[in-house]
Amino acid sequence: MRNGRSKLAVLAAIPLLATACGSGSDGADDSASGGDLSASLTGAGASFPDPLFQDWMHTYSQEVQPGVSINYQSVGSGAGIEQFLEQTVNFGSSERYLTDEDLATAADGRGCEALQFPVVFGSVVIAFDNPDLDGLVLDAETIAGIYSGDITSYTDPAIADLNPDMDLPDDEIIPVHRSDSSGTTEVFTHYLSTEVDSWADEYGSGGEIDWAPGLVGGQGNDGVAQGISQNPGGVGYVNQAFAQEAGLASAHVINADGEPIAPTLESTTAASEEAEIPEDFRFSIDGIGGAGYPIAGTNWIFTYTCGYEQAEADAIIDFWTWALTDEGANEIVAELGYAPLGDELKERVLAEIERTNSENEGGGDTEADADANAEDDSQE
């Protein structure tokens, strides 16, 4: 049974919630005053949201808080989790949530709890360089057959039966996959594993898997796109925003209700509305029907409840609060082809963001603690 508190709603752009951020930022008002925060933040992880993050971070640093610089490295979800757990960045990003093992590693290494919260939804697109293939209808069995090497031509009966009115090219299919540890791969292979038993048995799911022989690997979305364009008949999976920006042709994928669905903002939002979101924000988007596109995923951000300098914590809280609540920031989400969080989920996420650096005992002194300790010492 669906949990009403956890079902997502389509987001109407909402005004900045000045009271949502405990760091003292007034959001839109700070844009006029020049802001009052000063910090240099580093983040690393998923390439999936990178176009959005770069836009957000540039706008925030230029127009909202000029004293805050944010350097986000699009290194893939696996590397983002690794760098977060190694504490070489202020925040991490991934298309998969932290496992129990990850959370234990974080707690052992930092001495306090790691937080994870979703910030945006997106779809994984089956993309082609050939514009004649735009709108090609595929289902989970056919996609699995392509990536397992069993379907090698676009005129294969499995594809032809789904596309009786399309003039299919007589090209050899060259499947392209991510060669790095990738949240996009996690979303893609999770979908295949939940839909196709033979795929689950032979390949499973994850940010990295043992692919069938004969496939082409590419680093990041750019590498997959390059692999597609350099191989006639190439097909690959990339995030929706990247496919949109690159002008790649894309497949319509048949969902749980038997409907061929194009990867659009509306269909991604419809898919996200099917998600049940537990209190710890660890969830998958499965079994999508209705008007929903079936290969949809989530991007999570990771922070700690301790160990930051206070200026860093204030900037982290302020930035992600601004990103989720500012009207202009939410317009950017839609323009780039992502789906924002619904209002109810957003309230829960904002409360979680506020927990960043809320426990300082296990993570070292913040600047505020150091100042207080210095004052105590001077009075002794």
- Is residue 4 in a domain? no
134 and 253: one domain? Answer: yes
Mean pLDDT in residue range 238-247: 87
107 and 141: one domain? Answer: no
- Is residue 376 in a domain? no
Distance CA 126, CA 31 (A): 40
- Is residue 2 in a domain? no
182 and 158: one domain? Answer: yes
- Is residue 49 in a domain? yes
79 and 129: one domain? Answer: no
Look at 267-276, 332-341, 360-369 and tell me which has the smallest mean pLDDT.
Answer: 360-369
Residue 176: give the domain boundaries.
Answer: 123-272
Strand order, beta sheet including 260-261: 137-138, 252-254, 260-261
Residues 108-147: tens digit of each pLDDT:
999 999 999 999 999 999 999 999 999 999 999 999 999 9
More confident residue, 280 or 367: 280
- Is residue 280 in a domain? no
Counting the structural domains of the chain, the total is 2
Q: Give the CATH number, domain containing residue 252.
A: 3.40.190.10
Single pTM value for the model: 0.80
Residues 34-73: tens digit of each pLDDT:
579 999 999 999 988 998 999 999 999 999 999 999 999 9
Q: What pLDDT score was predicted for residue 31?
A: 38
Distance CA 265, CA 196 (A): 26
- pLDDT value at 297 more than 60: yes
254 and 304: one domain? Answer: no
Residues 144-173: tens digit of each pLDDT:
999 999 999 999 999 999 999 999 999 999
82 and 108: one domain? Answer: yes
85 and 137: one domain? Answer: no
Contacts of 86 (CB under 8 A, 6+ apart): 109
64 and 46: one domain? Answer: yes
